[in-house]
Amino acid sequence: MRNFFTFCLFVFSAFIYGQTSDAAPANYKVIDYLTYPYKYLDKDFKIKISDKTFQESVVKNQFIASRVIGKKYTDSLSVVLMAEFGNWEQSRLAQFKISYGWERVGAHLLISAEDAKNLGKRYEQVYPYKMSVFLRDEKNHDAYLKTLFQNLRKELFLLTGDKKVDNLSISKLMDEANRKSPDRIKLYLATQFEKEHGRKPKDSEIGKSCGRNDCCQTRTPD
């Protein structure tokens, strides 16, 4: 009986999902979402959607209104992209690439967002996501970038003390730097503190556990 109930629930959920989301086109993974001619975003990815269309997307795609209306840009962007594409696969992929910022590129290199942006200008990369892809391909590495990554290995080793850093591929080196980035971790913990306590933390409070098992300062970013 339980198995039958579970099956019925699955079928019902699939039906509901099918009513609110179209299938993504076969080529959706290879579309360039950073130069895509959006109806509801301008060339700088600023939202240009009518309130009526936005509200319709909230209802049709079963967003929780209190979590997306009047909230941060990324929440509104989710609604807008679903109005644009009508399917979750494209919407999530487009949002990931649009929202990929210079802060994230910097975390992959253990440098500031401003330095990452300047590095992008040096190699004529306008979009942070594309800069990350560019850096991961060693064929693009000139003498400057080779030195940059040599220094990154040294810095990451000093940060972690892990000898495996010497043998990581460029892509895995960037991912490990992102995981261990002190600036990224500090920002994450500050965000967790503000969510938990309703105020911005003092520098002395960041990373300091209050002793509770679920202390916001003992959490780790993805």
Instruction: Give the pLDDT confidence of 60-103 residue by residue, as tens digits.
Output: 999 988 878 777 888 899 999 999 999 999 999 999 999 999 99
Any idea which of 60-74, 112-126, 135-149 has the lowest mean pLDDT?
Answer: 60-74
CA distances from 187 to 69, 97, 136, 200, 217 (A): 25, 21, 24, 11, 11
Percent of the chain with pLDDT over 70: 91
With a CB cutoff of 8 Å and minimum separation 6, the contacts of 150 are none
CA distance 6 to 3: 5
For residues 131-159, give the mean pLDDT: 97
If we measure between CA atoms, which residue out of 159, 168, 162, 178 comes closest to residue 111?
A: 178
pLDDT at 122 over 50: yes
Check whether 208 has a pLDDT greater than 80.
Answer: yes
Place of tokens 């975003």: 41
Question: Residue 20's pLDDT is what?
Answer: 53
**pLDDT beyond 80 at 128:** yes
What is the value of pTM for the model shown?
A: 0.83
Q: Parse the chain into domains and list their residue ranges.
A: 27-99, 102-180, 183-218
Residue 21 pLDDT class (50, 70, 90 cuts): low
